[in-house]
Structure 1
Amino acid sequence: MTGAVAGPALAGFLTGLSLILAIGAQNAFVLRQGLIGRHVFWLCLLCAMSDAVLIALGVAGFGAVAALYPALPRIMALAGAAFLLVYGALRLRAAWQGGGAQMVAEGGRGLKGTLLVGLALTWLNPHVYLDTLALIGAVSTGFAEGAPRLAFGAGAVVSSFVFFFSLGFGARLLSPIMSRPGAWRIIDAGIGLVMWALAAGLLRGALAG
């Protein structure tokens, strides 16, 4: 019985990890909060729990939601692109003005603000729904209902927790680098450009659809 669930659990873990490893807006924000050491635990918990909810829905068979509401993907894409454009502009402005170092000195935004940004970067990102509801949900159908499929879903959920907490708390290893002058300008500029690139991709997809 152990082998019957160990294999699906490992498959779920590797599937979830392969989908989440790509550099995205959510990951970039977690990395940045980890670098400044502010509200890391709660942000990582929020992101991992959000993924857990979506993975559970996908494994439970709700991957057809987008098919039932054809306009939903486009609405989510436009909302996500708008948010990413604004947040990316803020990060690029911080890079220009050197605001990253100032944020570290001042302690950054509060817990509520941090979690609100984390929620927006998670739930306004259509790719999250593609990865969890659609892809993980689709892969889970390759396992028998019951314990094997539940084990697959659990493995995917564990991968999310492992990734976000490793990213958030592992970022502290970069603190010696971040103490160098100009380092925060590079980080903020990189994050801003990533945000804008993701927004452009969302807009292209929404307008093409």
Structure 2
Amino acid sequence: MIEDLEVDFSTFIKGFILAINLIFPIGVQNLYVLRQGLLGRHVFATALVCSLSDVFLIWIGGTGIGMALDGYPNVKRWVMYLASFFLVYYGFHCLYRAWKGKVTAESLEGEEGVASLQRSILTALGFSLLNPQGILETTIVIGGYAAAIQDYSQKFSFLIGATVASIVWFFSLGYGAKFLRPLFKSHKASRVLDIVVACFVFYIAYKLSQQEVPFFM
């Protein structure tokens, strides 16, 4: 059946535009990709993990699984608790970096250690798969829209459009940040960045602990 599918351009564009509009607002996932891009730290791996995670959730939603999970509030509640814990941990990690004041774009050039790469990948996975707003947008909104399309070729075209949008966005965000990288060659600028990120994730963690999903997450 797959070989018989053809991409409908108009439906492809609809999927692309819907996904971009949902992904575009600055949230913790985008903020992490932006930070990695600003510091030039494992940008490719971070963008790849975030985009593939989104693509996974989009196609899960397209099969109707996301709509089925929407009927289990306990699952969403535990995702919010796990996300809150993860965000608090990352927030304190940012404050620790700011306190140490040893992380700059210059100091990270050439830092490609295995342990550092693994931490970047795991953090990107956390921001992608422990993101209640992202899960709702990909599995419920995008997936729900796709699940309602009866024609398989159009459904396929819509999901491909959303897939391309996610990949284009995260790689553009990560590598586009290099133009601002000269601003973060000083310890002071990097400290400010970490403090801003920490405040942002602490606020979102608090909202999630109250079982509220911030619209910009």
Same fold (TM over 0.5): yes
Partner of 2:111: 107
Using the size of structure 1 for normalisation, the TM-score is 0.88
In 1, distance between residues paired with 2:148 and 2:122? 36
Q: Give deviations 1:21-80, integer Å, cap 9, x for gaps.
A: 121222111111112222211221111111111101111111223244331000000000
Q: What value does the CA root-mean-square deviation take over the aligned residues?
A: 2.3
Count of equivalent residues: 205
Instruction: Please state if 1:31 is matched with 2:31.
Output: no
Instruction: Please state if 1:40 is matched with 2:43.
Output: yes
In 2, distance between residues paired with 1:74 and 1:162? 31
Letter in 1 for 2:108: V
Q: Give deviations 1:108-163, integer Å, cap 9, x for gaps.
A: 86111111111111111112210111011222245332111111111111110001
1:6 corresponds to which of 9, 34, 49:
9
Shift in alpha-carbon separation, 1:132–1:20, aligned structure 2, 3 A: same
In 1, distance between residues paired with 2:14 and 2:7? 12
Q: Is the 8 A contact 1:44 1:164 kept in 2?
A: yes
In 2, distance between residues paired with 1:129 and 1:143? 20
1:149 corresponds to which of 141, 146, 155:
155
Please state how far the C-alpha of 1:181 moved relative to its aligned partner: 5.1
Q: Is the 8 A contact 2:103 2:187 kept in 1?
A: no
Please state how far the C-alpha of 1:5 moved relative to its aligned partner: 1.5
Q: Is the 8 A contact 1:34 1:170 kept in 2?
A: yes
Q: Greater shift after overlay, 108-117 or 85-94?
A: 108-117
How do residues 1-209 of structure 1 correspond to structure 2 at under 5 angstroms?
5-101=8-104, 104=108, 107=111, 110-180=116-186, 182-205=188-211
Letter in 1 for 2:150: A
In 2, distance between residues paired with 1:151 and 1:105? 40
Shift in alpha-carbon separation, 1:25–1:103, aligned structure 2, 3 A: farther
Q: Is the 8 A contact 1:24 1:198 kept in 2?
A: no
Shift in alpha-carbon separation, 1:74–1:103, aligned structure 2, 3 A: farther
In 2, distance between residues paired with 1:189 and 1:130? 28
Gaps of 5+ in 1: none
Letter in 1 for 2:10: G
In 1, distance between residues paired with 2:7 and 2:167? 23
Gaps of 5+ in 2: 1-5, 213-217
In 2, distance between residues paired with 1:99 and 1:32? 15
Please state how far the C-alpha of 1:105 moved relative to its aligned partner: 6.7
Shift in alpha-carbon separation, 1:75–1:103, aligned structure 2, 3 A: farther
Shift in alpha-carbon separation, 1:177–1:38, aligned structure 2, 3 A: same
